[in-house]
Each structure stands twice: as C-alpha cells, then as structure tokens.
Structure 1
C-alpha cells in the first residue's frame, strides 16, 4: 500500500460504550443498566457533539431476545439506532459483548453458533442499512475468562473448555457474518481482540514463545491460518479435541475480518519470572513444568515494552488487513488518560505515514465502566470515568471529551500536560527489581540494579508549569506531593516567592513562569484568631484570592482556589449544596464568602472548591492524627459531640480537584468524602480502626469547648454538581494504609 492509497482512509476517531452483559453463576451483570445508558436516549446527542462518525454500539442478544426471537423486544434498539442515523453516526453493531448468550445456551454449547447466527440474521433484516458488525467481542479474551480462568460462565478452568469456547465463538462469528451477508452483501466484519505481548527470563523463553503465538488464535482461526503446521496445533490436540474436530472447527471459523480491531491495555503486556521471591504470592503460578510469577511487564521491564506502535506493526505484518484500535482506555488520573489516548493516536498516525492501513483510534468507555477491577465478578460499584463522568446528575464531559473532539475535528490538542510522558514511561512505574526485556526471544537477559527509565516517545519539555501557592501549608504540600506522583510539572511557591496580596508581585511571577494554571492553597486558617484580627484574615483570604483571579484572567491561566463549609450557618439538617445561600457565623466564613464572590466576578472561569474538616497522613496537625496520637498516649482528648461535618481526606481532595481543574470545570463545587459525622464520632471511628482505646475521649457540646469563633452545628457538604469523592470509610482505610507505609516516621 502506498501513501497515496492511505489518503483514502484518513485516521478517524471512533468511540464506544462499555456494554458488557456477562454472566457469573446465575446472575447477569449488565453495564448498560449500571451506566444508565439503558434509559438515557439523550446520551447520543452528547456523543455526536464530539464530532465522531463511527461508534461501537450494542444490539446485544442477551438484552434483545433473552427468551427467544419470538419474544424479542426491539424497541430500545429501534429508537437508538434510528437516532444514530439522524445524528450522522455510523454504528458498528455488537451482538455479544463478553457474554455467553441467553440462559438456554453457553460458550461451549455446540448450537451456540447457529443460535447466534439466527439472531444476527434477524438484526440484519430489521436494520438492513447497517454495514459494520462485531458479532462477538474479544473471543479469545472471553474464552480465557470463561473457560480457562473460571471468572465467567460456564466457569471452566482447563484448556479443553477454553479451546471449545474459543472455537464456538469463532464459528459463531463466521456463521453470523454469513447470515448477515445473505441480507446485506456489503456487510463488514470489524473483529476485536485484546492484544498484548509476553516477556520472560531466558529460562521461560519457551513459555513466552507459546504465549505470543496463542494471543493470535482468534484472528488466525478467522483468517484460516490454523492447520497441522501451525505452532499451536499440538497444544490444541493435547487439550482433548480430536484432529477431525479441530479441522472441522477451523473450516467452519473461516471469515477474514474486513477490519482487525486491536484492544490494548497496560495490563495486557505480561512478564514471566521464575524468581518467585521477587513477587507477591498472588502473582505465583506455573505451567506444570516450571513455577513462575506472572506480572504486568510495565512494572518490571527496565526497557521498553511493546506498546501500541509495535503491536499494530506486528498485526499488520501478520495479516496485512486494515486495522483499527478499537479500545483506548486507562483507569487512571485524568492527565494520564489523556496521555494514553494521545500516545495511541500518535502511534497510529506514525504507522499511517509509514504506509500501514490504520483506520481509527477508538475512545472507549464513553460513559466509563463499573467493576472491571474485579473483572466483572462482583458488583460493588467501583467506577472508572471515561470521556464522560457519570458521578454528576448528567454525564459530565471530562478533558478527554475535548481531546477526542479536537482530534475528531482535525484540531491539534495543546494541553501542556500532554508534553509529559505517562507513568508507564517514568521510573516510578517499577514495582519489582528491574529486568531487561528488550528481546523476548534472546538469551541475553540481565537483572539490573535500581530503577531505570526506558526509551520514551519524543516529548517536549514542559514550559508551562502549574503554580501552587502555599508552600508551608498542608494543602500546598499535598498538591506538590501528588503532582510529583502524577507527572505534573509544578512550582511550589511560598509567600516570599509570590505574595498574593501584592498585585504587581503576582503579575511579575505569572509573566515569568507563564503557568497554565494556579492552585491557591494559601490562606489564613486560624478560625478563632480571625475574630481578633479580621483585617489580616480578609487581606489574605479575600483580597489575595481576588488579586489572583484578576491576574489569572489577564494571563489566561486557569485558577483553582478553596473555600470552606464555614460559609454556612448550620440552620439545616440536610447536606448543603452549591446553590444554597451562604450565611457565615464568623469572620473566617465571611472572608471565604466574599472571596468566592470577588473571584468569580473577576474571573468567572475560576474553579472554587468548598471543602471541610481535613485529615491527612502527611501532617501532624489534623484532627484525626492528633486524636489518635493523644488517645494512644493515654491523654485526654476533647471533641464536639454535636457539630456534624463531612470530613475530607486530603489526598482524595487533591486528586479530585486536579481532575476538575484539568477538565476545565469552573464555578462553585463541593468536595468532601461522603459522610455526616460528629467530631467526637470521627475520633471514635479512627480509634476503632487503629485499635486505640477511647476511654480518654471526652465528648462535649460545642458551647463547652471554649471556642472564640461561633461555628455551625451542621455543615455537611453535599453536591448538585457531582459526587466524585469516595465515602469516608474508604478514605479512612486508605489513611491507615498510608500511615502504615510511613511507619518509619509514624505520626502517632
């Protein structure tokens, strides 16, 4: 293929909705029900607004016809597919997405292929205008999870069940496409599969060679490459299937894809190592010949793992068929999600320029996904946001939405955070002793000392940092600490380095550093002292914040600043939301209310976050840490029994605030861990988890604590904009985990 030929297919942005309906035992897990798309037609307008032209979209067998075609309900599909037509989006229709079909069949049912083909024909007859199909998503992956690892129905844990499931799925794809093409001769197969690469030590090179051949099995079956001369043939025969059965299955599975869809995740690349002592027991396994640990390659390989670029090259060389990356998603912080997607896009563009027929990059999980951290074996509500975040009353576009829109409409993304390599390119990715993984077929393996970086794409040096104001405070230090972890270039400034109450000083610093954003973590925080020196409190909290807002507006830099739950008077018994009227009881609260008003007047694009009752593993002076230190020492600790708050775990606050800042959010937001608890009960909760006695805990009414500044007895923060913070129990558990990790410098 020449470059001229390639111009016929400029790189497109596709998208997809996570729509898995998988079965565990007798229970079905339905992502469309979990993400609410099952009842939100308006989502399609949001998707169209991204500028995408193709979308992977479900018409799932289990949902449409769980009780047979005679009882099928097409109403949902009719409405959605019709609306996609109106919006100008071409659906790539999926019929089974990690599923095993209705209850009367399974992936090892010999009749599964014919049954799915009957459904496929019905879909084609009902929607004859649809051209692109994925009858079975990721058949190899689904066969592994259902037949080898036992995660999903029919819960097999052996090679025979795995192979039977894979052959049934591939035959189902072939029969389904045959049925569809009898209705629509021009129908195209867009066949998806998760694809990673395996690395190992020299001793396990034989296992690596096997794994790196087995990963192609679904595509090899569909492309007619499996025969007695195939590397995997003996393995297939030894599984328990006869050669005649295999030959028949291979013939029945022949259906070369029109487009090969490659899905790749960071966990897809694996490393095998017989040195079990270097790895936790949960990673230990074996093949009957050798015992070894199986870990994420990115966590141990000192050098570059395959990456999207190499995998796409390999797929092209093996099949010489058009390729699309049909899922790009990373469960991570927002800027890392951006970096992962953009890296995949750039790799595809580079391959296109080299003459390889790459059609598209797919923004996967438009609405995010639920419980994939447990491989969909439990429904506990673990949510990963995607292009849109569902933790708001309506799907909220994230920074990924802007990136997708830019790429889909031919605009160059320009966010400065894209210039920093993702964590998978940085040295902190290494969790185990680093091993050279340059060539999995070589015997030249070497354990290397220390943590090393490996070659990365050509990134520009970041020139626009994030400024963090408040170098001496708990919040400023936490922002710096987590920006370091997240690969966000920052400048942590003290008052001497930028006095926010001096307009000329602020203007000079912004002019010199040219930040893309400023985090105002500075402030006057002594609530009782503010009653005695209101002029100082107002100058720092109010005037300083307003000066920063004016300067940010002039320098076109985003602003994140913080307010407090003390802007409320406690006259209610339901959590305060952003639109509730502020009515502070003290000087500190007044300074924050006025700051909110002046900041948003001067710079409406500012993000103002109200928060409450900090606790952190990284400082000695927050309520939880002090309570535990005093109680564990046998000292008396006094806390209010009637003042109800919503405590905020500082690491959660920083992560959520940064995500919102990167997303370009503005206006008032409430961020606190979901809870409503009195101060004394918070001390009891912390002490219970720490195993500390509460016999010296004294719970008193707020009026008996001798506080100078009046405080509300109820200041719980809720939100009408989005509940994006974890619950208090989760935060408390992670607080103690971090304290344990820092045990050499224990705070209590």
Structure 2
C-alpha cells in the first residue's frame, strides 16, 4: 500500500497551522503550502509539487475569511474562495487524487430553527457566503473525488478568532456587549484538522483496497457538539480564562441584539450544523468545544 502524502494549502491560517501540528504529531507525510510560497491559482507550481512529491490528496485550508471586508473587496474574495478551489479541483481531477475542501455555515441564510443538513437549500446573504458557495460548486463540478467540509464558529490558539478577541477585550475593558440572538456551534480548528486527516486516511484505504468503490464523497458538516449564543460562548471563555488565571477578573457582559451591532455583512441568526452524516459515514464525532476552550486557554496561558 503506497504511503499517504497530503498537500495542505493555506498553511499559515489557523486551520492550516492546526493541520500542520496534527500531521506532525501523527507522523503523516505532508507538504505545507502557504500563500507566500505559492498561489493556489498557480497551476504550474501545484502540478510540479503533486508530481514530484507523489501527493495522494489535497486539503484546501486556504480561504478569504474576512466576512465584512468581503463586501468591499469582492474581487479578492472571489479569487481566493472561488477561483482557487476551481483550479485545485481541476488539478486534482487531472492527477486522479482527492480534494478535501473546507467551507462554511455562511452558505445558509440562517432562517432555520433546526440543525442544517447537507441537503438543505443554500442561500448565502453576503459576498463571503456567496464566494464560498461558488467555490463548493466549482469543486463539485470539476473533481468527482471531493469532500466538502462545512464548519462554523472556528476558534483556536492561532490567528484571529472570537476566543482570542474576547480575551483581548476582557483585558482592556470592564464591560462588554456580546450578541445574544445568533446561535451556532463553536468548533475547535484542531478538531477540524483531525476530522480532515481521518477522512483523507479512510479515502486512501478505500481507494487502494476497493478502487474507491465504496468511498464516501460529497458534502459533510462538522461542528461543535453544543449550540450556544455568542454571549454564552463568551461567558464560557471568560470563566475558563479566570479559572486558569489568564484573566484577573471576569468583565460584565451585557446581552446585545444583532440590530444594535450593525455590520457590513449580515450574519446568520441560526447556523447550527447537523453532524450525523459525518458520524455515520466516517465515524467522526462532533467537536467538544468546552473541552477545547479549556485546552486553548491553557496553551495561551503557558
């Protein structure tokens, strides 16, 4: 059985860094590609890397994730979220390898009140969500061996995210206002990384034992195991940070409604993702985000 060799794009993002950590910890052969090293829109470089290193699958963690800025720079969002995945899909198809592509809850409008299924109608509200959906459609169109993994409310010890922003603000202010009428499932980027690696490994085994006859391709949802508001998530972060000594005091956290906090891009009011399909097909359990908050706070406090 040939050895797995994963190519990770977007290696400098928070998910990319978590993927690097997990691949190293698990001793899996991998190549990391950041935007500085090579543009995912550069076909020649990508094909050269795949051929020279005998890449067996690509995990695309490259994304334009500035939800509000996307409204004012749609061309850049399109280049990274649509054009990049389209090119990757074509290259993967040419080399007959799998593409694991990460997407978002923002492909939905957030008008449901029960967890979103992979089969639910997509209806993005802004530029970011639309470009991510178009990226999904391109992957589906150009590469039959694909897994599109939608996730939400991503946090980690790396990059810019809600957890790190809340901790910074809590050190600067005595009182904060956090939105209470948006509901979702916080998801630890390291758990997303583990899920993607597990999927890639299972696809590789299936490809080599049954020529991919029983491989599970398509769209999957992966997120945290408990739905909360941003306000409740913030409180969980503050309580854990205070417990571990990272915060000297817990700030007063006032509940705010979305209309009191206007943003250029509309946020989904409800973006809970059903994780039943990924559990059934791949045996991947939902991310335990409270345990992850404890872990991330511990890393930041070290």
Q: Alpha-carbon deviations, 1:494-548, whole Å to 9, x = none? A: 2243211233332233233221111111111111111111111111101100100
CA distance in 2, matches of 1:523, 1:587: 13
Say if 1:629 and 1:532 are closer, same or farther in 2 by CA, change over 3 A.
closer
Q: 1:732 aligns with which of 287, 290, 294?
A: 290
SS of the aligned residue for 2:8 comes to strand
Partner of 2:261: 705
Report how far residue 628 of structure 1 moved.
2.6
1:687 aligns with 2:238: yes
Q: Based on CA coordinates, which of the two structures has the bigger radius of gyration?
A: 1
CA distance in 2, matches of 1:524, 1:697: 30
- Measure how far apart 1:570 and its partner are: 1.1
Question: Does the CA-based 8 Å contact 2:275-2:286 persist in structure 1?
Answer: no
Residues 1:416 and 2:3 are matched in the alignment = yes
Query: 1:738 Cα deviation (Å)?
Result: 4.8
Shift of 1:629: 3.4
- Which moved further from structure 2: 733-742 or 678-687? 733-742
Partner Cα distance (1:543, 1:509) in 2: 19
Q: Distance in 1 between matches of 2:299 and 2:45?
A: 40
Partners of 1:517 and 1:688 in 2: CA distance: 40
Query: Do 1:653 and 1:725's aligned partners in 2 also have CA atoms closer than 8 Å?
Result: no
What is the CA–CA distance in structure 1 between the aligned matches of 2:197 and 2:255, rounded to whole Å? 36
Does the 8 Å contact 1:644/1:716 carry over to 2?
yes
Alignment match, 2:84: 544
Render the CA deviation track for 1:144-168: whole Å, top value 9, x for unaligned. Answer: xxxxxxxxxxxxxxxxxxxxxxxxx
Alignment map for 1:93-492 (pairs within 5 Å): 414-417=1-4, 465-492=5-32
Mapped contact 2:237–2:293 kept (Cα < 8 A): no
Q: Which residue of 1 aligns with 2:95?
A: 555
Q: CA deviation at 1:668?
A: 0.5
Tell me the CA shift for residue 415 of structure 1: 4.0
Report the count of equivalent residues: 281
Q: Is the 8 A contact 1:672 1:725 kept in 2?
A: no
- Give the equivalent residue in structure 1 for 2:211: none
Deviation of 1:739 after TM superposition, in Å, equals 3.6
Would the aligned equivalents of 1:652 and 1:725 in 2 still touch at CA under 8 Å? no
- Give 5+ residue unaligned stretches, structure 2: 204-215
Residue 675 (str. 1) matches residue 256 (str. 2): no
Is 2:301 aligned against 1:743? yes
Q: Which has the higher contact order (CA 8 A, sep 6+)?
A: 2
- Partners of 2:299 and 2:78 in 1: how far apart? 39
**Aligned partners of 2:74 and 2:160: how far apart in 1?**
23
Q: Distance in 2 between matches of 1:613 and 1:548?
A: 25
Of 197, 207, 210, the residue aligned with 1:658 is 197
> Does the 8 A contact of 1:620 with 1:626 survive in 2?
no
Question: Hey, what's the Cα distance between the residues in 2 that align with 1:518 and 1:481?
Answer: 16
Q: TM-score, normalised by structure 2?
A: 0.86
Is the 1:537–1:588 contact (alpha carbons within 8 Å) kept by the matching residues of 2?
A: yes
**Does the aligned pair in 2 maintain the 1:578–1:719 contact within 8 Å?**
no
Q: Report deviation, 1:611.
A: 0.3
What is the TM-score with the length of structure 1 in the denominator? 0.36
CA displacement 1:18-59 (0-9 Å, x = unmatched): xxxxxxxxxxxxxxxxxxxxxxxxxxxxxxxxxxxxxxxxxx
In the alignment, structure 1 segments of 5+ residues that lack a partner are 1-413, 418-464
**2:30 is aligned with 1:498:** no
SS at match of 2:277: coil
Within the alignment, does 1:613 sit opposite 2:173 as a pair? no
Q: Which residue, out of 263, 278, 288, partners 1:722?
A: 278
Compute the displacement of 1:608 (Å): 0.6
CA distance in 2, matches of 1:674, 1:515: 33
Q: Deviations over 1:466-496 (max 9, x none)?
A: 1111122111111011100010111111224
Separation in 2, partners of 1:498, 1:620: 20
- Deviation digits for residues 375-434 of structure 1, max 9, x if unmatched? xxxxxxxxxxxxxxxxxxxxxxxxxxxxxxxxxxxxxxx1414xxxxxxxxxxxxxxxxx
Give the conservation status (yes or no) of the 8 Å contact 2:177–2:253: yes
The change in CA–CA distance for 1:741 and 1:683 in structure 2 (over 3 A counts) is closer
What's the offset of the Cα at 1:731?
2.9
Q: How far apart, in 2, do the equivalents of 1:415 and 1:614 lie?
A: 33
CA contact (8 A) 1:573 1:714 kept: yes
Aligned residue number for residue 104 of structure 2: 564
